[in-house]
Amino acid sequence: MNDNIEKEIADFLTGNWAILGIGNILRGDDSFGSVVVQKIRKRIGKSCIADKIFDGGIAPENYLGKLSALGIERLLIIDAAIFDSEAGALRFLDVGDFSTPLPTTHGPTNFSLFQMVLPDAKIKILSAMPQDTQIGAKMSDKMMNKADEVVSAIVKVVSSRS
What are the structural domains, with CATH classification, of the chain? 3-159 (3.40.50.1450)
Average pLDDT, stretch 99-105? 48
48 pLDDT more than 90: no
What is this structure's pTM? 0.90
pLDDT at position 31 is 96
Average pLDDT of span 144-161: 92
Helix (H) or strand (E) holding 12: helix 3-12
Residue 41, pLDDT > 80, answer yes
Is the pLDDT score of 104 beyond 80? no
Q: Distance (Å, rounded) from C-alpha 120 to C-alpha 160?
A: 26
- What is the reported pLDDT for 1? 45
Tell me how far apart the alpha carbons of residues 24 and 49 are, in angstroms, rounded to a whole number.
24
Report CA torsion sign: 71, 76, 81, 84: positive
Q: What is the pLDDT of residue 133?
A: 87
**Average pLDDT of the residues in 89-112:** 67
pLDDT tier at 109 (50, 70, 90 boundaries)?
A: low
Alpha carbon distances (Å) from 154 to 17, 22, 98: 12, 16, 24
Phi and psi at 124, nearest 5°, equal -125, 145
Query: What is the structure's pLDDT at 2?
Result: 57
